[in-house]
Structure formats: C-alpha cells, structure tokens
Amino acid sequence: METKAVIEILQVLLPLLYGGLVIVYALCFFGDAPVLDRVRTPLIWITLALHIFYLGARTTAFDHPPITSVFEIMTILAMCIAVAYLYLEVKTKTRNTGFFILLLAFVFQTVSSLFIKDLLTIPEYLHSLVLGFHVSAALLGYTAISLSAAYGFLYLMLYHEIKSSRLGVIYTRLPNLEALETMSHKAEVFGFFMLSIAIAIGLFWLPRVFENFSYWDPKLVGSVFIWVLYAAGLAAKRTLGWQGRKTMIISIVAFGFVFLSMTVINLYLSGFHSFH
Amino acid sequence: MNLLSIGISHHTASVDVRERMWLSEQEIRGALTELRDHYFSECVLVSTCNRTELYGITRRPDVDEPALKQFLIDFKGAGDAVQGDHFVGRVAGAAVNQLFRVASGVDSMVIGDIQILNQVKEAFALAKDLGAMGPVLNRLMQSALHVGKRVRTETSICEGAVSVSYAAVEMANKIFADLSKKSALLIGAGETGELTLKHLVGKGIGQVRIANRTREKAEALVASLSGAVVDFDRITEALHDVDIVITSVNSPSAILGPADLQKVMKQRSNNPLFIIDIGVPRNVNPAVKKIENIFLYDIDSLSAIVDRNLERRKAEIPKVNAIIDEESIAFFHWYNSLQVGPTIHELREAFEAIRTDEVGKNINRFTSEDRELVELVTKRIINKILHQPLTALKKGAEDGQGDNETLTRINALRELFGISRDRGALHDE
C-alpha cells in the first residue's frame, strides 16, 4: 500500500527533522551561524507541513485520527509544541529559546516514532465525541506544561548564571528572568486548567465505557498525582509567596512525572490508555 | 590620490593637549573655509573630545604637511601646548583606512564606542553645508557610514557594557522585564552610584528614591531626577518595596547583612531584589548572596563583567578589520574607475598631439598620394603602441583587484607621459 510506505518514511523522517531543527537552533544559540540563522524558521515550517501531512495520512490510512494511543498522542503533542514555539517566535521575535523547546518536540516525536503501531481496527468506544474533548483538552494541557517546563529550565539556568556571576552564552542570549518566569507561570496555569478538564472528562466518561474500571488504575493514579503536584505548586505560589526558583523546580519536576507516566506506565504497566 | 588626513587623538596626545585642539561648530566653519581657500578642493573636520581630524583632497600633490599642522595649531592659538608631533599625517590608503577605523569604533578610546559614527556624520553634514564637500569625500563618507553600519550588524564589537555603571544597568535588564514598573533606591551619593542611578533613569526606571546621611545632598540629587528622599535610618523599611538597591556609602562595616535582608525578603513576599554594592569597603555582607531571589553584585564582580566585555570586543577586531579592508577595496575600485577613463582619454590625446605635430611638420616631404598612407600608418603605430598598456590598465580596474596597483599605474602613466594631475576627471566635474 502506497500511503503506508509514505507513513513509514515520515515516521523515520520526522524525528530526524526535529533532531535537525534542534541542532540548527543549538548552533545558532551557542555560536555564530549566519547561514543557519536564515534557514531555521523556514525549516520549522517545512517540518510542520510534513508533520501535518503525516497525521493526515495516518488518519486516512487507519481510518481514525491518531488519538487512540499514547504514542499517537505524542506525535500530535510534538507538533503542538512546535506550533506553539513557532507562534511565540513570530510573536515575540526572540528566536533564542528554540533549542530548548524544540528539544521537547524532538523527544516526543522520537518516542512516538519508536513505539507507534499501525492500528487498523479500534474499539467502538474510541469513536466518541467525548473522547475528542478529552484528548483536545489533554493535548493543550500537555503542550502548555511542556512549554512551562522548558521556560522553567531556562529560568533556572539564567538564575544560576546571574547568581554566581559567571555570565556566559545563556546570559547573553536569553530573555530576562522575569519574562521567563512569567512565560513559564502563564503556561503552567493554562496547562493546569486544561489538564483539570481532561481529567474531569475522563473520570466522568471512563466508568461508563469500561466494565472493569478501577480508580486504582496506574494511569489514573499517575494523572491525579501529577494534577496534585501542579495544584500544590500553584497554591504555594499563591499562599506561601513562592517565587522564581522554587516554582520553576516544581514545574520541571511535575513535567518529569508527566513524561514518566506517559512512557513508563504505558509501557510496563497495563492501564486504560493502552487499549489493545 | 591626493587624499590627506591629519589628526590628533588619544593615541598621540593627552587630554589637556586634545582639549586645546577641540573645535566648536563655529570654529569648524571658519577653519574649513580657510582650508578650502588655501589647500583643499574638498575637506572635512571631525572634532570630538578624543580627537580632531582633518580629511581633505589637496589641490596640489605636494602638500606641506607641517604647514597644515601649524595652520590648525595657529587657528586654535594653541602653540604653547600643542606641537606638530602631536599630529599624525596620513595619505591616500592610510587616510581612508584611518577614517574607516574611526567610523567603526576600533580607534575609539573605549573600543567599540560607536557614538563616534554620529559625530562623523555631523562633521560631513557641516562640510556639505559649507560647500566643502566634493565627489570623493562624498563617496568616502558614504563608505565610512557603511563601514559603521556593517560593523554594528555583523560584529559584536559594540555589545556588552564597558563601564561599571552600565554593566549594572544591563544586569537589571536581565533580571527585570520592564524597568518602568520597577523602582530603585540609592543609598549614599558616591559618583558611580549616582551615575548608575542616572543610567537607570535613562532606561526609564519607574521610581527613584535616595537616602543619604546628609539629607541636603539627597534632596539636591532628587530634585534633578524627580524622586523621593528616604531617611537614612529608615532604609530597611524602604527595602520592602524597591526592586533595585544601589549602595555607595563610606562605612567601615557593612550596612546591610543577611539577617536584615532575610527579614526584608519575607516582607516583600520574596520578590526579586537586585543589589548593586559600589561601596569600598563593601556595604553589603557577601553572605547575602545566598538568600534566594537576591542578586548581589559588588564593584569587583561588575568590573569583571566590564573586563570580560572588553575582551570580547577586542576579539571582534579581526572581523572589523576585514570589513574595513573590504570597504577600502570597494572605495578604491570606485575611485580608480573614475580615474582610468580620463587617463586613457588624455593619454590618447597626448599621443595624437605628438603624431599630428610630427606628421604636420614632415608631410610636405611625401608625395600627395603617400600623404594619406602616412596618416594611416602613424595612427596605426600609435594604436599598436597604446593597445597593450591601456588594455592592461582597463582590465586591472575592471577586476577590482590590486586597486592600489591600478592607482600606481595611473600615476606612473601620468607622470611618465606628463599628463597633469589637475586635469583629472574628478575636479573637472
């Protein structure tokens, strides 16, 4: 089947493209690369165009949008992160954070490409409008908290450089601390809100669809645990007046758990997000 | 090329000598008018606190450089302090190079200080206003401005603060997003502290407060900066709601310690606080650095930033020199292309004059049938003699390679065959 061959090629090509983007942005960040500097933004557009084509091809070839397994979600997530970054780059005209954010898109796409399966038949309950809402909310949420973690990471690096007066390329090229903190915080609040919606829909919908539903399902426990972490972080900022470093660390740690729950729990513990 | 430059700068003279040679706009007008009347067909004078430089196209090739220096010294009546040795004279390529170095900031006292570019621009505008500009200087100015622009965009020689006070302001901009929403407190009124505060005001800091042991001094400073005075013994309270603190107090021991600031940070719900300690000995206990969200910089760490920035700027010099070389080549390429055409034309004319002269003298010795042939043959000989050198000259100019070489050839041709310089195309225009 021809479409399938195209899908297989793109499955290999996309991680390479994202990897290439990461390298190009890194070279521009850590050194002077005037030629690469001109090609990097067009390169994102090309990557995104191919990515959208890939998702479209999957949808038609397998007769369902790629939202039915965590690895299908991951490739969309990679695209969402790249889109969000491109939007920020165009809007704020700062291109120096690309390396760090696109790195996340690269990781998600690579994991997805490695483990994604060609599902030709999916259970009837996945053809559901409620699932659509659940997935959309979760995707927006995950994109936002990925950005939040990336900006948090940048904040910590810059904070460390300024604090220790060892000023290097991070100091020269990154935006200011306050801007990084604001970006991270706003993304976190938005992400938390979206994840809350995703979890609420999930909790409402799951018991109706699965007969063997259990509140002790590892994925559900993981999700709630992550939700609690974010809630605690945001609450600490509100009530304890936590600022800067501490809240950024929480954002990064929570994101670490998100990644773990998406990969480890899905791979090694059977949960409801692995439907087959 | 009759381009000449004579200059006095921080390389050759101390400030008390340089300031004697500084020319006001009015003086520049007077000097340029006289210089143009006596020495130059085109000329411009650049005068700043660090340099006074004269660039011009001389009317005659043999210009008396010492006389020009003396003219400038006499014009300023500075004979008691300034000698001819304080000036450096340069001609042709060296003069172009000098102007480009000045415009690029590599010749500035603080390397990369590109304020000079505006001063160069103004100097040329003034010369233009006086009608002292001509085609060569016009082109030269455009090239110099182009050098300045390229240096700014293609190198980072102007980047990074190179004074303690600017380094502090730059740091403030890396910590806070919008200085207009922030406030600064100056404790003490030392010179650097004041300067830092003024830079912050220049960058649009929202509010300014000043505390000083002698309240009158604080009030005087506040009046010029539109801020508020804070009682010296109520500093810690003021720390609750400012974002930047500059301390420059003469005090044998620290005026702020970790205990004070831990309390302050609680009060200000951990909002980031940037402390610039300019006092010597230090006004703030270094242990304060450990407190979260406090960024403490003392004079040493700021000086280290300045030193590093200067090093970085120096590292950019080769890039700047490459730009200067490229632009010099482009300039001479243009200049030579102006020269080659007229030289060829004049050379042909000179040869033709000799031919007609000789043919005219001897034409009666030929029979009337042969006379036409004589015309033809002599013309051919001249064409053949001139063919090789003129082709080489044209080609050299078109290739744009070895522009100095082309210039040397043109000058040699003009000198050997006695074609006068004054008849060059440039000044016939």
Query: How do residues B232-267 score in pLDDT, each as one tens digit?
Result: 888 888 898 899 999 998 888 888 999 999 999 988
Mean pLDDT of B111-122: 86
The SS3 of residue B342 is helix
For residues A79 and A178, membership in a common domain is answered with no
Mean pLDDT of B48-54: 89
In the chain, the amino acid numbered A45 is W
Mean pLDDT of A221-244: 84
Residue B297 has pLDDT above 90, yes or no: yes
For residues A153 and A243, membership in a common domain is answered with yes
DSSP H or E run through B91 = strand B88-91
Which tokens belong to B339? 């020269």
Task: Using a CB–CB cutoff of 8 Å, tell me whether A183 touches chain B.
Answer: no
Nearest-by-Cβ selection for B177 from A172, A182, A244 = A182
For residues A118 and A128, membership in a common domain is answered with no
For residues A137 and A251, membership in a common domain is answered with yes
- Which pairing describes strands B3-9 and B88-91: parallel, antiparallel, or unpaired? antiparallel
Residue A10 has pLDDT above 60, yes or no: yes
Q: Do A177 and B297 touch (CB under 8 A)?
A: no
Q: What is the DSSP string of B208-260?
A: EEEE-SSHHHHHHHHHHHT-EEE-GGGHHHHGGG-SEEEE----SS-SB-HHH
Distance CA B142, CA B125 (A): 11
Residue B228 has pLDDT above 60, yes or no: yes
For residues A83 and A138, membership in a common domain is answered with no
For residues A197 and A68, membership in a common domain is answered with no
Q: How many domains does chain A have?
A: 2
Q: What is the reported pLDDT for A45?
A: 92
Quick: pLDDT tens for B82-91: 888 899 999 8
Quick: pLDDT tens for A72-119: 888 988 998 899 888 888 877 777 888 888 998 999 999 888 888 777
In the chain, the amino acid numbered A247 is T
Residue B273 has pLDDT above 90, yes or no: yes
The pLDDT mean for chain A works out to 84
For residues A131 and A83, membership in a common domain is answered with no
Q: What is the reported pLDDT for B55?
A: 93
Topology of the domain covering B3-157: Beta Polymerase; domain 2 (3.30.460)
**The last residue of a domain, from among A102, A122, A142:** A122
Chain B positions in Cβ-Cβ contact with residue A165 (cut-off 8 Å): 297, 301, 304-305
Q: Which residue of B has its CA nearest to A165?
A: B301
Quick: pLDDT tens for B306-336: 998 899 899 999 999 999 999 998 898 888 7
Distance CA B375, CA B19 (A): 67
Residue A120 has pLDDT above 70, yes or no: no
**The last residue of a domain, from among A94, A122, A150:** A122
For residues A83 and A192, membership in a common domain is answered with no
Burial of B369 (0-12, 13-18, 19+ CB in 10 A): exposed
The pLDDT mean for chain B works out to 87
Q: Peptide bond preceding B281: is omega within 30 degrees of 0, i.e. cis?
A: yes
Task: Using a CB–CB cutoff of 8 Å, tell me whether A176 touches chain B.
Answer: yes
Q: Report in angstroms the alpha-carbon separations of B18 from A272, B13, B31, B99, B308.
A: 83, 6, 17, 18, 29
For residues A85 and A172, membership in a common domain is answered with no
- What is the interface pTM, i.e. ipTM, of the complex? 0.79
For residues A10 and A146, membership in a common domain is answered with no
Residue B425 has pLDDT above 70, yes or no: no
Q: Do A244 and B292 touch (CB under 8 A)?
A: yes
Q: What is the reported pLDDT for A16?
A: 94
Chain A positions in Cβ-Cβ contact with residue B178 (cut-off 8 Å): 178
What interhelical angle do B65-76 and B25-38 show, nearest 10?
150
For residues A108 and A145, membership in a common domain is answered with no
Residue B424 has pLDDT above 50, yes or no: no
For residues A137 and A68, membership in a common domain is answered with no
Quick: pLDDT tens for B52-65: 999 999 888 777 88
Q: What is the reported pLDDT for A271?
A: 54
Q: What is the reported pLDDT for B98?
A: 94
The SS3 of residue B51 is strand
Quick: pLDDT tens for B346-389: 888 889 999 999 999 988 888 888 888 899 999 999 999 999 88
Give me the residue spans of the domains in chain B.
Answer: 3-157, 164-311, 338-428
Count other C-beta atoms under 10 Å from residue A239's C-beta. Answer: 8
Highest mean pLDDT, choosing among A159-168, A207-216, B415-424: A159-168
Q: What is the reported pLDDT for A22?
A: 92
Residue B423: pLDDT band with limits 50, 70, 90: very low
Tell how far CA A241 is from the center of its chain.
28
Q: What is the reported pLDDT for A66?
A: 80
Distance CA B110, CA B46 (A): 18
Give the domain range for residue A183: 124-276
**The last residue of a domain, from among A70, A90, A122:** A122
> What is the reported pTM?
0.73
- Which architecture, in CATH terms, is B164-311? 3-Layer(aba) Sandwich (3.40)
Q: What is the reported pLDDT for A241?
A: 74
